[in-house]
Amino acid sequence: MRDRSEVLKKRRSILLVGTILVAAVPFSGAFAAEQGAPAVTAPAPEWPKWYFYGGLEAGDRFFGDRPGSGFGRAPPPANWLTPVTTQSRAKFEEYGEVRPGAFLDWINLQTGTTDGRYAFDFWGRSVGLNNQSYTLDASELGRHYLSLGWDQTPHLISTSAKTIVGGVGTSSLTVPNSVQAALQAQLPNAALAAPPAANGVLGQTARTNIENIINSNLAPLELWTQRDTATGGYRFTPTPDWDFGVDYSHEHRTGLRPTGVSWGYTCTGPATATTPGCTSPATPQSPRPTNVVEIPQPLNDTTQNVEGKGEYVGTTFWGTRWTTNLKYNGSFFDQDVKQIDIENPFCLTCSLFTGLNRGPNALRWAPPPSNNANAITSNTAVDLPFWKSRFVNTFQYNAMRQDDAFVNTGTNGTIMPPVTLGSVPVGSLNGKVDTFLWNGVYTGRPTKDLQLTIRGRHYDIDNRTPSLHIDNWIWGDSGCAGGTLLVTGMCAPNAARNSLPISYTKDNASGEATWRAARWASVGGGAY
């Protein structure tokens, strides 16, 4: 018994010593740390390394034979432009300048981190020329994306054009009184042609005189357009499920381009020596425009486009995938040139309805008016929990507006009857057109070999533009469209018209089924 009790005592002693040693190990480590022993620490994070890259292309340019403007007069009897006098640079520089001397064709600068997280990219092309462009892209991979740009788009139409009008580049184009008087004197006989022979001689002489008068008063004219466009876009993806973005563009268009403006008159019946181009005054007819004057139309308008969108991708409560997005689009067009007034080159003291010289002394032309549109679009796609089916749904609402003031076409002493709404004069269209679209598509596969497709569509145009009334109107600056002038100078109310805003709704529905009977044969049908 003694021996057994001593053995137990020795075992207890060994266990106690072992417990003390195990407990002493961390204590001794802490004590050693307090005494300055080295401790194990995590390495410090490294700063990302950046890379830099760039390039450019530059040089010097000279010409052995550079095209000129092309403006010039050919010697008689040609007088007008000939291939000799139209060797211009218009085609050579149609979409951008090609200057002699030093040039920088393109430059590119790039920087970013070597881990791909940050990146910046800049490009400049045709630097300093009228077709230059610049872009800057910056991004933080997976989160932020920014894009900025600015570019110019030129179009050189002609460097050899000619004109007799003054005030080029403005909305008021003039012709010297002396030129108008000289051309007006030739107008009565200009349309005469054989037979009889006397008429043919008079007509040819008048047309030759007109050519000589115009050629001796021509001035050089360069026709061109320029579009300056600024763009910006930003995209943000805070999580893998969300995506937001906004885009904006601003385009300013300027320049001069050729535009035809109608004028003049014609009356039914054969021409005679005393009333060329018209019947006898005993049967007067309302004049109609027949001739066209080409003018340098000034351009000055702005177009802005805006887009904002958001998208989400997630999981339905029954465990399938679905995605939805919401988008806004806006377009705004602003016309700075509301109307263009032109002095008729062939009329200084013409009359609309009497005498040999008939026609308007002043012409007026109206460019397209300012307008805007705003649209909201929603798209949703969801996987359904049965038949491996899917449903896609689209809603869109668009509101279009136009409310520029009417252009007064009474330029020659003629008074246009007022445009009325319920007998009350109005000064603008007050155009309002709304559209609504719904479109849904369902696809499913009940069995491996059977596929179903069901479609539905609803489209509605709601035109809330008021129906306007007008008793008569002025035709081509030449007079009343329906009837002669009243004593008051207003067009007689015998050609009344009402505008007719059109609205409608259209619904479509269809269903299709396709059954694959064998690997080499399918049978299908549908209803619409």
- Tens-digit pLDDT string for the chain (528 aa): 444 445 444 444 443 444 434 344 343 444 344 445 455 566 666 677 999 999 999 999 998 888 777 766 566 665 554 455 556 788 889 999 999 999 999 999 999 999 999 999 999 999 999 999 999 999 999 999 999 999 999 999 988 888 999 999 999 999 999 999 999 998 888 877 777 777 778 888 988 899 889 888 988 889 999 999 999 999 999 999 999 999 999 999 999 999 988 765 555 444 443 334 344 344 444 444 457 788 999 999 999 999 999 999 999 999 999 999 999 999 999 999 999 999 989 889 887 666 667 778 888 999 999 999 999 999 999 999 998 999 999 999 999 999 999 998 888 878 888 899 998 999 999 999 999 999 999 999 999 899 999 999 999 999 999 999 998 888 767 677 776 677 777 888 887 899 999 999 999 999 999 998 888 888 888 888
pLDDT of residue 24: 42
Comparing CA positions, the residue from 427, 431, 429, 374 lying closest to residue 398 is: 374
How buried is 134 (Cβ within 10 angstroms: 0-12 exposed, 13-18 middle, 19+ buried)? middle
Are residues 55 and 107 in contact, defined by beta-carbon separation less than 8 angstroms? Answer: yes
Q: How far apart are CA 147 and CA 138, in angstroms?
A: 6
Residue with tokens 């005498």: 355
pLDDT at position 289, please?
46
Which helix (H) or strand (E) segment is 89 a member of? none
What token pair was written down for 403?
């409310």
SS (H, E, C) 389-401: CEEEEEEEEEEEE
If DSSP codes are grouped into helix, strand and coil, which group holds residue 449?
coil
Residues forming beta bridges with residue 135, ordered by sequence position: 123, 149
State the pLDDT at residue 200.
79
Q: Are 198 and 208 in contact (CB under 8 A)?
A: no
67 touches 126 (CB < 8 A): no
Residues 6+ apart with CB under 8 A from 31: none
Q: What is the pTM for the complete model shown?
A: 0.82
Query: Which of 206, 186, 210 has its CA nearest to residue 198?
Result: 206
pLDDT at site 484 = 67
Strand partners, 229: 151, 251
Neighbours of 391 (CB within 10 A): 16
- Predicted local distance difference test score (pLDDT) of residue 382: 97
Residue type, 459: Y
